[in-house]
Amino acid sequence: KNEVEQSPQNLTAQEGEFITINCSYSVGISALHWLQQHPGGGIVSLFMLSSGKKKHGRLIATINIQEKHSSLHITASHPRDSAVYICALQGAQKLVFGQGTRLTINP
């Protein structure tokens, strides 16, 4: 069993829809990252969470340490949000990456 599981693997939605991407993990962590990878490959760090909830613009990330679960929400989704979203577990130094969720937002 993988240490980190993301769902769904692929998600297609219409512009304006509320998007939720889930990440479950099975090991102890110091923090969890949400990353965004665009088709060109470049990776942007969206959030680093160790507890609770963070919000940046239309993006919201939550984490429940007891349940070992995190969610990334996108409100009022837009075609430019189309990308692969990756959750990554922060250990002492290394990151362990989920398989990613490929999000496509249609106009």
Helices (H) and strands (E) in the chain, counts: 0, 11
Q: State which of positions 87-106 bind other proteins (CB under 8 A).
A: 90, 93-95, 97-100
* DSSP 8-state code for residue 50: S
CB atoms within 10 A of CB 14: 10
**Shortest Cβ distance from residue 87 to other proteins (Å)?**
10
Nearer of residues 19 and 89 to other proteins, judged by Cβ? 89
Binding stretches for other proteins (CB under 8 A): 30-31, 33, 35, 40-45, 48, 86, 90, 93-95, 97-100
